[in-house]
Structure formats: structure tokens, C-alpha cells
Structure 1
Amino acid sequence: MNLDQINPILLIASLMVAATPILLAAIGEAVVEKAGVLNLGVEGMMITGAVVGFAIGVNSGSPVLGFVAAAIAGAALSMLFGFLVLYLLSNQVATGLGLTLFGLGLSSLIGKPYEGMKVPTLAKWDIPLLSDIPVLGPILFNHDPMVYVSLGLVAVVWYVQKSTRAGLILRAVGENHDAAHALGYKVIRVRLMAIAFGGACAGLGGAYVSLVRVPQWVEGMTAGAGWIALAIVVFASWRPWRVLLGAYLFGGITVLQLNLQAAGVAIPVEYLSMSPYIITILVLVVISTRGKHGAPGSLGRIFHASH
């Protein structure tokens, strides 16, 4: 065992990269749930975004086009979910689980020809002067653009929800859809827009895995990241900055266990590999014992405009 091999600066910088796909998916799902819709299809949208982004990236030679295509694919898949739960009034939990299974199967079908291929990845932004700052430079100012996009999305979602009329309407629809409807707000339209945003974010998160973290296509490569994103939304009590904290906490645990494996720590690899998921479950158990913790009042309830 040699813990001297672990560089704390590189560890924290790697943490930001590891957390980015989960953060992207979680901030999108936080908006969806804030609108009163529970979409358990995040994993399916992520893996679809991963394969579509990879396919477009390989064929076009542009990872940027890959990300755009992944966002569109995630949003399109989420619209299927939105149609089923908002217009056909299907059960949100069952439909979300079905969406995940559909996404996993679709990605397997699309991705078969791309196994073993390499794809051009996003270059890191070496920000002049800032990246040269000791310690903080390598940690904060030497990443690919999507790391900063994910942080920017958190800031935008926080600002919109807290300080704009659109955010107020979104929260009103999520808290009490009948009251929002009585006031004249278009509940279904608001929820559809939230669902599309969540799907696009999940698609971007999936594409980040296949285009940046592991720039190749491997079946099932999101490896449960969508479920972790769902757990983080609950852990964060549906608050954007807490979503950021939760994603980075999970990313840190993931990177740390990989570093401990490389350092030869005398703990079986299987235990280290499952540690991020065990800690996530423990956090959720602790939160659940606190009772009501900020869940939107209409979360998961079917809305029917009967008048």
C-alpha cells in the first residue's frame, strides 16, 4: 500500500470530471420534479444520449455536434414520457421505469456497430493566467467546457427558480397543480417544458460519459449514474446548490475509491467499487428519517384538467 501515490490536487480535479455527468442529469431531474413530475427514466435518457452523442461524434468528427445530438435525443425520449403521463395519464413510476428499459435496449441496438471505435474528445480549456495559479489553477481552471456548462446550469436554474416569474410558475405548478390551473397557468405546458429540459440535461450527462470520461462506446456504460442522479435530487431537497454538493460528494467518493485501488489499499476491490452506492443509500436512509424535507406537494400526482 502506497498512499503517497495519491495527489490531492489531481484528486479534486478528477472529482469535478467524475461528478459532471451526474450533476447534469440531477439538475435536469430537479427541475422536472420541481414541476411536480417524477421521471424515473433518467438512466434510459442518459444511455440514449451517450450512444447518440458517440455515434454523431464519430461520424461528424465533432464532439460538440455529439453533445447537441445527445441533448436532442434525451429531450425526444423525455417527450415520449411526457405524452404518456400528461396526456394519457399513465402512472409516472411505471412509465419512468419503462423508459429506462426502452433506453437501455435502444442504446444497445444503436451502439452495436460502434463498439471498439474511438471518438474525438473535448479539449481542456487552459484559461490564461488563472490556470497558472498554484493549487487552484489545476483544480478549477483546467477543465473541458462541459464542466463549466454544468456549473453554469446550476447557477441558471437557481436564479430562474428564485428570482423570475417563470420560476415562480414552475414552483406553483409543482406545489399545487389544481390551484395553478385555477389561476390560469398552463400546467401541462409548463410540465412538458420542464420534462424536455430534464431530458436534454440527462442526454448531455450521458454524452459526457461516452465523449469525455471514457471516449468510447461500451454497452451499459452509464452504470447506474441515472439512479444516483435521482437519489441526489432527494438528498438535495430539490435545491440546485445542494444538487451540486451531492453530485460532487458522489464524484469524490468514486474518484477516491479508484485512487485507493491504484494505491493497493488492503480492502477487496469489490467493496471499494460498491462504496459510492452504499454511501448514497445510507444518505437517503438518514434523510428519510427526517420526514418531510421539501418535496413538491404535487410530486407524482396525476393532473387532469376537468374544468
Structure 2
Amino acid sequence: MLPDQYNVVVLDSQGNDVTPRSLLDAPGDGESRAALIDPSASVADLPLASISGGKHTDPVWGLRWVAEGKGLGEALVSISTDGRVTQWNVQKGLEHTDLMVLRRVARQGEAVRGTISRRAAGLCLDFHAADNLLYVAGTEDGHVLAHYFGHSGPVYRVRWSPFGAGAFLSCSADWTIKLWDAEKAAALFTFQARDPSAEPVSDVAWSPSSATIFASATGDGRLDIWDLAQSTISPIHTDQLDGTRLSCVSFAPSSPVLVAGGDNGVVGVYALTGYLAEPSDCTAAQQLAALEKVTGADAGR
């Protein structure tokens, strides 16, 4: 059970498209717990279920709902700094299965020093839009596992393109964002906003309506919108929010709206304007082609 006061730190949460449920991580007392929450319920009715056996031994930094197949519902997948990627079966009282134990991987020419633990601390994960068996995980070591080396600091977020391409974004404490192709070991592009400061990029999010547009949030309160079709060097729009350390950013799924949250507990809601606010009339195939034109994936066709 969660404490009566619900004095928790929420590191990540995600809604469910099928039923109104969320997974909440609560490491506030030094012990990581997770609970299944019905947002429509009163506080007295919370939580629907909580994890007991097999729980993570470190904070849970990321979680995702994943479809298990037609008619089989959804499962929850969590990632923690204890090095585990774990799937929770909601139908069986949050019964768990470890999908993967993250291991430290040496960069080329380096050796892993086996002192205390050879496990890698997991910070984030995301699943491919068209293949729920394929996922990427970011670690505290500064690279995306499956041997995508590039960042020199902790990777805070990884996001697959929602248009089914093999492209994904990562952002890091090393002040940069990187665009990757799952078939290539090296990053395709590295992005850093103009007039950069020594602040981490805390989150990145793809637009749900345009395959070449994404947003990023930084620790110094900068909110950037990028359009790869316009430039791979500079964002097309920047807002500087003074006095706020941004921690997360997300596009609304069906409205021209961007939301961002910060360490002051405030969620800002921003209306997109210009062509960013216009609904796209491109087909899914056209969206994919636009992204592949940027990444060069269409060069071999």
C-alpha cells in the first residue's frame, strides 16, 4: 500500500488507451514501489493494485503500456536504476517477468571495470510504433543499449518515431539530442540549440501529426520546437521560461497544443501557431517518406 499521505515522487507515468489506468512510481521513502491508479477514483479508493513481490529495488524512471496482441489487452513495462526491464501482467495482479537485465557495455577500446556492479542503471525506454517486441533503453552510462554509442552523459529519454520508421530520438545530460536509425550504430544527427548553455536536455517528444517535427525541454527552462524538413541545425521556435527547470514535454495527440512541466510543479500549456497548428493531409506513407528523406533511409531505394 502507498502511504496514507501519498507523499510520493512521480518519476514517470503513462495513461492507458484501453482503460483509465496509470502506473505511478513512489520512491519517496527510499524504497521503490509502483501502483496501478484509476484517475477517476477518490483518494480513499487508491490504488487499484500495488506491486509487492518482484518489485524494483531502485526508483522506476520509465514505464510504458504495451499491447500484448489482439484481444489480449495490455501489459505494463518498467525500467529502473536497478538494471531491470520488467513486464507486469495487469490481469494477474501485477505478476512480473523480467524482459532484460541491463549490462554495462564498454565503448570501443574501453574496458568495463567490474568493481561493485556490472548492471547498467536504466533511466528510460520506448517501444517501436509498429513492433511491440522492439524497444530501446537509455542508461546512466550515457548510451542507448543495443550498442548505440554517442552520448557522453546519462540518457534521459528515448522516443521512437510514431510513424513506424526505424528512427528514434534520444536526449542527454551532455546537452544534446541525437537522431538515430535502428539499423546504424552511429547517430545520424546531433542537435544543440543556438546559444546553448551547460544544461541537460531533460525530455524530447515527437509531433503526432508531422514526422519531421519534435520538441525538446532543457534544465535551464528552454522549450524548443524543431522541424527537420526546415533545418537540422537550429530549432524553428524557442521559448525561454525564466526561473523554471523544465523536466518534461509532450504534444497533445489530437490538438495543436504543446505541454511542458517543470520543477516548480507547474504544467504550461502552449497553443501552436502557423503551419504547426494546421492539420496534416499527408498519408502515413507520405509522412514516413518525409522522415526517410531527412534520415537518408530512402537513398537505397
Q: TM-score range by the shorter chain?
A: under 0.3
Larger RCO (alpha carbons 8 Å, 6+ apart): 1
Structure with more of its chain in strand, by fraction: 2
Bigger helix fraction: 1
Query: Which TM-score applies when normalising by structure 1?
Result: 0.24
* TM-score (norm: length of structure 2): 0.24
